[in-house]
Structure 1
């Protein structure tokens, strides 16, 4: 695999990678805080668990949204200048995967902020 294809694959999958990290951090820290009895602690005036979930969700949304914007620009270039079928596919797949990853990241973060932490 050439360096360009490697970067395309990483760009294509970056939203899923951000979601996987978010998923791991949210549930890992939540289970640790709940298991140790630290869920009632507060950070900056809000509970520790919701603070971690909010921070993790925002940190996962940022690179996914950034990559989505990069891929939108690449999609416009592919349409204007033309590109190989493989490149066009990678860009379009990246748009789909990163767009759906934004939805999944929000889907994962919202209920965790609404429901009680250790219920």
Structure 2
């Protein structure tokens, strides 16, 4: 995959975008459960809301792991044949690690607290 200015901007933000998508998914699940009075329902024998929150969390963490693996040096080459700057790769991987912790911290209260009050 050739590196470009667009990729240099998008790559460091990819982990943060996954974090934002996970945040939105948790809110969507909770809002839907409260609006439709489905907070007490079950999905495959498990409580519906926590099961979807765990699923969204695992999916987000897997996507972050893939992004971190893609940050290995030597993978991307610019149009001129030079290696992509290490700072871009390092910063993207660091943002993925921070996003991973943030995903865990936002999933914990969503699992512990009831969906609707």
TM-score of the superposition, structure 2-length normalised? 0.81
Distance 1:36 1:50 in 2: 16
Aligned to 1:36: 36
Higher percent of residues as helix: 1
Aligned to 2:113: 115
Aligned to 1:96: 94
Structure 2 unaligned regions, length at least 5: 76-81
RMSD: 2.2
TM-score of the superposition, structure 1-length normalised? 0.80
Aligned to 2:79: none
Aligned to 2:103: 105
How is 1:48-67 mapped onto 2 (pairs within 5 angstroms)?
Answer: 48-67=48-67
Distance 1:9 1:42 in 2: 42
Distance 1:62 1:6 in 2: 24
Structure 1 unaligned regions, length at least 5: none
Distance 1:103 1:3 in 2: 28
Distance 1:4 1:10 in 2: 10
